[in-house]
């Protein structure tokens, strides 16, 4: 396992023995870093390579992947720029470590940047697990997702993400050709054991 800043994002890389399945790109939530989701990645996709970058934006000292103007209101200009930067990092990491396109596993802010990547840079990802995501763009571009697999897990008691907002994101991704499974769990914004179990089972079927 390595922690390095020799690419465009500070990140951790965990080599994998499983070369038949795509690696995971782990994208933390607000206040997390490159260490936060390593344990989750190892639980849900044992043996796969893991790439875990740190978001470059600081909000009151807490790392994020893009700026927001207030709770649930995103700086879309910054979001588009940061998504482009992250797509560039994925290409760098894929070349540096000899990996194919990853499946993103993002939580909260990390899920939102993963959804933006699907819509703005679909070639960067092989699919995505979006844990507590929101619709990242008010006017999503006409992406062609060509059947990319997407798992969305929302929380029925999530105080941050309105159910209609998450449902709209699922619709947008389906309209652009993604194969979306959207489940609402008896949970809040935080992750539960059900998230782990459903994510592991879904990834095993890819």
pLDDT above 60 (res 63): yes
pLDDT above 60 (res 1): no
Nearest to residue 122, comparing CAs of 140, 98, 134?
140
- φ, ψ dihedrals at 196, nearest 5°: -60, -50
Q: How confident is the model at residue 5 (pLDDT cuts 50, 70, 90)?
A: low
- Of the listed ranges 6-10, 64-68, 150-154, the least confidently predicted one is 6-10
Looking at domain 2-204, what is its CATH homologous superfamily?
A: Alpha/Beta hydrolase fold, catalytic domain (3.40.50.1820)
Q: How confident is the model at residue 6 (pLDDT cuts 50, 70, 90)?
A: confident
Rounded distance between C-alpha atoms, residue 170 and residue 151, angstroms? 9
Q: How confident is the model at residue 2 (pLDDT cuts 50, 70, 90)?
A: low
Give the mean pLDDT of 112-134. 98
Question: In which order are the strands placed within the sheet that holds 149-155?
Answer: 2-4, 11-14, 50-53, 24-27, 103-107, 127-131, 149-155, 179-185
Query: Alpha helices of the chain — where are they, by DSSP H?
Result: 38-44, 76-97, 109-120, 163-175, 193-204
pLDDT above 70 (res 186): yes
pLDDT above 70 (res 3): no
Structural domain boundaries in the chain: 2-204
Q: How confident is the model at residue 206 (pLDDT cuts 50, 70, 90)?
A: confident
- Work out the end-to-end distance of the chain between its first and last CA atoms, rounded to an integer number of angstroms: 25
Rounded distance between C-alpha atoms, residue 84 and residue 133, angstroms? 19
Residues with a known catalytic role: 108, 158, 189
Helix, strand, coil percentages (3-state) for the chain, rounded to 5, are 35, 25, 40
pLDDT above 60 (res 102): yes
Give the mean pLDDT of 179-187. 98
């Amino acid at each position: 396992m390595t922690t390095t800043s020799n690419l465009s994002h500070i990140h951790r890389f965990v080599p994998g023995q499983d070369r038949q399945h795509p690696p995971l790109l782990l994208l933390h939530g607000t206040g997390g870093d490159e260490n936060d989701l390593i344990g989750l990645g190892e639980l849900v996709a044992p043996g796969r390579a893991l790439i875990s970058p740190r978001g470059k934006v600081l909000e009151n000292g807490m790392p994020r992947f893009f700026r927001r103007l207030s709770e649930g209101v995103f700086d879309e200009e910054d979001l588009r720029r940061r998504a482009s930067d992250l797509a560039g990092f994925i290409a760098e990491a894929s070349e540096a470590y000899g990996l194919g396109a990853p499946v993103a596993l993002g939580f909260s802010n990390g899920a939102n940047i993963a959804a933006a990547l699907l819509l703005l840079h679909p070639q960067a990802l092989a699919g995505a697990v979006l844990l507590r995501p929101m619709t990242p763009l008010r006017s999503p571009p006409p992406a062609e997702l060509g059947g990319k697999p997407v798992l969305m897990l929302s929380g029925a008691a999530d105080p941050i993400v309105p159910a209609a907002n998450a449902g709209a994101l699922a619709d947008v991704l389906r309209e652009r050709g993604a194969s979306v499974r959207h489940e609402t769990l008896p949970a809040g914004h935080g992750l539960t054991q059900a998230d782990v179990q459903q994510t592991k089972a879904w990834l095993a079927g890819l």
